[in-house]
Amino acid sequence: LEHDIILELVGQLLEEDFVLSDFSANSIGPQSGSSYWHVDAPFTMVPEPLPDTPLAIQVAWMMDDFTSENGATLAVPGTHLSRKKPPWSYDSQEGQVELAAPAGSLAMWFSQVWHRSGENTTGRPRRALLGNYIRAWIKPHNDFTRSVPPDILSRYSPRTRYLLGWSAFGPTRD
């Protein structure tokens, strides 16, 4: 979540003041069907028309090869410009592309881009680390300030503490 290349790219897209909204490990199980087309938070809770300003970036760090057979992510480039959410559907979309790449690769997209996981027809899971970065003034999906124990927090760098929300506290009175 604190990788220099990721933070540099996210900073260019969201400007410099951003935080981590969510960070998770994702596994598409063997013999799993595809997911439905969707956008990511915070756009799931925003009515149409969606903002045309980039508010959030989704990052997928591929822990396994992403292939047609194991459920590589599918995306529809340019849909962030439509300012609409995708139809509730599992059907192919015109212009969709497959984010196939070797393990260790990184994929990034605006969170309002229509995307979904593909079908995993193999006997092995397809895994990724997913990070959702948002502009600092948007309420994050996770409140890390309540879920990270103090003894763990003390091990984090100032940069990670900032990304996890410890920058969001206003002044207090004594």
What does the DSSP assignment read for 128-170? EEEEEEEETTSPPSS-HHHHS-HHHHTTS-HHHHIIIIIT-PP
pLDDT value, residue 122: 98
CA distance linking residue 129 with residue 95, whole number of Å: 26
Among residues 127, 49, 62, the alpha carbon closest in space to that of 100 is found at 62
Number of Cβ within 10 Å of residue 96's Cβ equals: 17
pLDDT-based confidence at residue 60 (cuts at 50, 70, 90): very high
pLDDT value, residue 170: 56
Q: What is the pLDDT of residues 99-158, one digit of tens each?
A: 999 999 999 999 999 999 999 999 999 999 999 999 999 999 999 999 999 999 999 999
Q: Report the pLDDT averaged over residues 29-55.
A: 94
Number of Cβ within 10 Å of residue 37's Cβ equals: 22
Percent of the chain with pLDDT over 70: 96
Reported pTM: 0.91
